[in-house]
């Protein structure tokens, strides 16, 4: 089945799923309240701060190759190894070699969208490497055999009852567990994994050029444990994660946590500058930073779309999007869902398979309004539609419909003729329509504005 067809099927199923709709409305309503509150509580002028953040991020992109090189030389000077992966396959091969070198049998991971992007879990499991997802939301979707539903809150679509049932089945916990008991079950389940895994794999929220640092934010502590306990720490980071200066963090960290979860700052904001230093007694012996391109450098060269690489993956555009709220994260069938996903996926993967995502939008612009780095998301969706059309991907049906439409609307007399025709035939046509369609299609007004105007002038 084509991507488009499966999108149409899945999105329709979700749109009609009343239980799903109620769950998501509940989650985004609570998100909205917290985030709106925190924006005004913490920021003097949110609009100004996002303007500044957007400018810093854009200026970073303007100098990205220099910053990447600076980052590389600084972090390598502290003993980390930097590996440049052009695509998912290259990134997986690096990890394979690290695994072989350090005789790894078991991996503990903290939440990372880049590892989702390269399908790392499936790849490792094929080689009988045991993978522990340690973020609670990620663990839930891993146990359920699903993909993350949301880039920030992976298990947003699951109710407490569903999770209790899942944990009961997989982890043998009480089927009536509360949220707290479920969290403690996950804690107990993973405690040993940190200590016995030979490598910890994490993502990065920011890469800092001037200090050669990786920055990671989280609330649970699983990220800290993943980079503290195992002897090897591997970071998989997109090349666009860069910020020029450590001193940019006092703005970007609160900006990200406010947009992401409505927190002033997240519980842990960690700055990692390498493996354990020579004078230090505790910490990983080895650190590898895999810089992932995977289509980003192509997107970077696209004048219109480069700005999409400002994204700091806060998830705000997903939460704001009425389409995301209706069809849920899984319908997209992409690593990055929602508006940002519909903007970048056709470029990072391919336009023919994912171009429809840009069509599946009312272009309401809610995403652009909430983006903390001012990516013009809904206009980029519009741009993607134009790209699809230019690439001849509209399909014969729509090509024809719009050609006819333009032919009719180019002339008032043709339009009037068409209008009269519809008026005369609508009774018959409506009779032939199935009832469901008849309810949706409005009747033509008895008289058009033009006709009324003419009568009025007489």
Smallest gap from Cβ 25 to another protein, in A, equals: 7
Among 119, 170, 171, 221, binds another protein (CB under 8 A): 221
Query: Please, which of residues 266-285 interact with another protein by CB under 8 A?
Result: 266-277, 279-283
Query: Please, which of residues 177-206 interact with another protein by CB under 8 A?
Result: 179-180, 182-184, 186-187, 190-191, 194-195
Q: Exposure of 366 by Cβ count < 10 A (0-12 exposed, 13-18 middle, 19+ buried)?
A: buried
Report which secondary-structure segment, H or E, holds 83. Answer: strand 81-85
Query: Please, which of residues 66-95 interact with another protein by CB under 8 A?
Result: 68-69, 78, 83-86, 90, 93-94
* Residue 52 · residue 259 · CB < 8 Å: no
Give residues with Cβ within 8 angstroms of 383, minimum separation 6.
304, 305
Piece of the chain touching another protein by CB under 8 A; list 122-130, 243-251, 310-318, 333-341:
243-251
What is the residue-wise DSSP string for 186-226?
HHHHHHHHHHH-SEEEE--SEEETTTTEEEEEESSSHHHHH
The number of C-alpha atoms within 13 Å of 181 and in the hemisphere containing its C-beta is: 15
Is 249 one of the binding residues for another protein (CB under 8 A)?
A: yes
Is 360 one of the binding residues for another protein (CB under 8 A)?
A: yes
Which CB atom, from 129 or from 291, has the smaller least distance to another protein?
291
Piece of the chain touching another protein by CB under 8 A; list 113-121, 219-227, 333-341, 343-351:
219-227
Binding to another protein by CB under 8 A, coded x per residue (else -) over 99-128, reads --x---------------------------
d(CA 142, CA 218) in angstroms, rounded, equals 19
Instruction: Render the burial of 43-71: b for 16+ CB within 10 Å, e for the rest.
Output: beebeebbeebbebbbebeeebeebbebb
Query: Please, which of residues 385-444 interact with another protein by CB under 8 A?
Result: 385-390, 394, 398, 402-403, 405-406, 409-412, 415, 439-440, 442
d(CA 194, CA 107) in angstroms, rounded, equals 9
Is 369 one of the binding residues for another protein (CB under 8 A)?
A: yes
Smallest gap from Cβ 370 to another protein, in A, equals: 9
Binding to another protein by CB under 8 A, coded x per residue (else -) over 133-172, reads -xxxx--x------------xxx--xxx--x---------
């Amino acid at each position: 089945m084509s991507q488009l067809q499966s999108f149409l099927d899945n999105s329709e199923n979700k749109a009609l799923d009343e239980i799903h709709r109620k769950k998501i409305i509940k989650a985004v309503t609570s998100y909205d309240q917290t985030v709106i509150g925190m924006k005004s509580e913490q920021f003097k002028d949110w609009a100004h701060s996002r303007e500044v953040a957007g400018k810093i991020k854009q200026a970073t992109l303007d100098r990205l190759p220099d910053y990447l090189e600076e980052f590389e030389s600084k972090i390598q000077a502290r003993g980390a190894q930097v590996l440049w992966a052009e695509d998912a396959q290259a990134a997986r091969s690096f990890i394979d070699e690290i695994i072989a070198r350090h005789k790894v049998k078991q991996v503990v991971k903290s939440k990372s969208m880049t590892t989702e992007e390269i399908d790392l879990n499936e790849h490792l499991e094929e080689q009988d490497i045991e993978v522990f997802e340690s973020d609670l939301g990620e663990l839930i979707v891993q146990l359920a055999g699903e993909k993350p539903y949301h880039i920030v809150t992976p298990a947003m679509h699951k109710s407490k009852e569903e999770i209790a049932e899942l944990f009961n089945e997989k982890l043998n916990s009480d089927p009536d567990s509360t949220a707290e008991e479920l969290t403690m079950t996950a804690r107990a389940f993973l405690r040993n994994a940190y200590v016995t895994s030979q490598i910890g794999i994490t993502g990065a929220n920011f890469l800092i050029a001037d200090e050669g640092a990786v920055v990671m934010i989280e609330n649970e502590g699983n990220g800290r444990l993943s980079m503290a306990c195992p002897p090897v720490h591997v970071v998989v980071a997109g090349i666009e994660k860069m910020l020029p200066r450590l001193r940019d963090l006092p703005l970007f960290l609160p900006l990200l946590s406010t947009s992401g979860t409505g927190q002033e700052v997240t519980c842990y904001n960690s700055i990692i500058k390498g493996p354990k230093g020579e004078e230090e007694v505790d910490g990983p012996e080895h650190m590898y930073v895999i810089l992932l391109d995977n289509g980003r450098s192509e997107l970077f060269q696209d004048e219109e779309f480069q700005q999409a690489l400002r994204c700091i993956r806060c998830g705000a555009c997903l939460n704001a999007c009425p389409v995301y709220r209706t069809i849920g994260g899984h319908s997209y069938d992409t690593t990055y869902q929602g508006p940002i996903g519909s903007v970048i996926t056709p470029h990072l993967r391919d336009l023919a398979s994912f171009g429809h995502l840009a069509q599946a939008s009312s272009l309401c612009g809610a995403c652009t309004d909430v983006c903390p780095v001012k990516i013009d998301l809904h206009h980029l969706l519009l741009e993607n539609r134009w790209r699809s059309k230019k690439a001849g991907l509209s399909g014969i049906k729509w090509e024809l419909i719009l050609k006819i439409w333009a032919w009719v609307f180019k002339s008032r007399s043709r339009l009037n003729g068409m209008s009269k025709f519809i008026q005369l035939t609508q009774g018959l046509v409506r009779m032939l329509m199935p009832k469901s369609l008849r309810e949706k299609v409005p009747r033509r007004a008895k008289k058009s504005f033009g006709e009324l105007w003419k009568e009025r002038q007489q």
